[in-house]
């Protein structure tokens, strides 16, 4: 992961908790999680308050589940204009809706909107970087009440795959000093996504 979460945040145009790097790197879920834990323990990269790093024992996760690796259809949006995307701490940053994903989860049809930061897309390596903020029925119990995120990249075909095992929690769940994108109502899933990061305690 060539660019850490903290660097992306420093750019002030990215998402408050971004686990991606400058390239699309296909890691296993286990490798991905080990890297996140290593970053959380690193004082230069960790979102945790400095006094909390020493006692950090690891991010909590659901067990990896193949049922949450789903096939989806991607539809590119047209005519969308950049808009002020609400963040926590009363902040906004400019994004544009890039497309929609259609898939089935727990035998229910689902749709998620995908967003792009025009400013971030100008950064080397982030030209294809997209972002999916969403909420689901686990929020406030097993997972962070404010929702979670999933990374995506501009696909070269309509048929794509979404792996919710890589779902992650925004940095503001670990430290209120961070400002995080607030998932829009259109990305409120009426299913429980029991995959990815769990509530930090």
Cα dihedral: 30, 33, 39, 45 (round 10): 140
In-domain check, residue 158: yes
In this predicted structure, what is the pLDDT of residue 6?
Answer: 37
pLDDT of residue 17: 43
Q: Are 52 and 179 in contact (CB under 8 A)?
A: no
Residue 52, in any domain of the structure = yes
Any domain includes 50: yes
**In the block, which residue shows the tokens 């701490």?**
89
| HSE of 108, CA atoms in CB hemisphere, 13 A | 11
- The answer to whether residue 195 sits within a structural domain is no
Q: List Cα–Cα distances, 159 to 22, 46, 103, in angstroms.
A: 23, 35, 10
Kindly state whether residue 200 falls inside one of the protein's structural domains. Answer: no
Tokens 């995080």 appear where? 180
Residue-level pLDDT at 27: 84
Rounded CA gap, 63 and 201, in Å? 17
The secondary structure of residue 184, as a DSSP letter, is P
Asked if residue 103 belongs to a domain, the reply is yes
Contact 68, 76 (CB under 8 A): no
Return the closest-CA partner of residue 36 out of 51, 46, 26.
46
pLDDT in tens, the chain (201 residues): 333 343 343 333 334 344 344 344 558 999 999 999 999 999 999 999 999 999 999 999 999 999 999 999 999 999 999 999 999 999 989 999 999 999 999 999 999 999 999 999 999 999 999 999 999 999 999 999 999 999 999 999 999 999 999 999 999 999 999 999 999 999 999 999 999 999 987
Q: How far is CA 140 from the centre of its chain?
A: 17
Q: Is 172 inside any structural domain? A: yes
Residue 85 lies in a domain: yes
Per-residue confidence (pLDDT) for residue 192, from 0 to 100: 98
Q: Which DSSP symbol is given to 74?
A: E
Domain that holds residue 159: 5-187
pLDDT of residue 26: 59
Domain count across the chain: 1
């Amino acid at each position: 992961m060539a660019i850490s979460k903290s660097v992306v945040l420093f750019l002030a145009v990215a998402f408050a908790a971004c686990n991606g790097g400058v390239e699309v790197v296909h890691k296993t879920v286990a490798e991905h999680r080990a890297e996140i834990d290593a970053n959380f323990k690193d004082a230069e990269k960790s979102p945790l308050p400095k006094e909390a790093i020493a006692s950090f024992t690891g991010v909590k996760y659901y067990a990896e589940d193949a049922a949450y690796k789903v096939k989806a259809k991607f539809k590119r949006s047209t005519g969308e204009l950049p808009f002020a995307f609400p963040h926590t701490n009363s902040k906004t940053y400019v994004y544009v809706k890039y497309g929609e994903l259609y898939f089935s989860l727990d035998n229910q049809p689902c749709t998620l909107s995908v967003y792009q930061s025009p400013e971030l897309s100008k950064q080397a390596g982030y030209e294809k970087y997209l972002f999916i903020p969403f909420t689901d029925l686990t929020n406030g119990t097993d997972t962070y009440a404010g929702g979670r995120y999933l990374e995506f990249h501009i696909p070269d075909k309509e048929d794509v795959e979404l792996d919710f095992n890589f779902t992650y929690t925004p940095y503001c769940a670990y430290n209120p000093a961070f400002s995080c994108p607030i998932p829009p109502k259109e990305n409120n899933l009426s299913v429980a996504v029991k995959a990815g990061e769990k509530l930090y305690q």
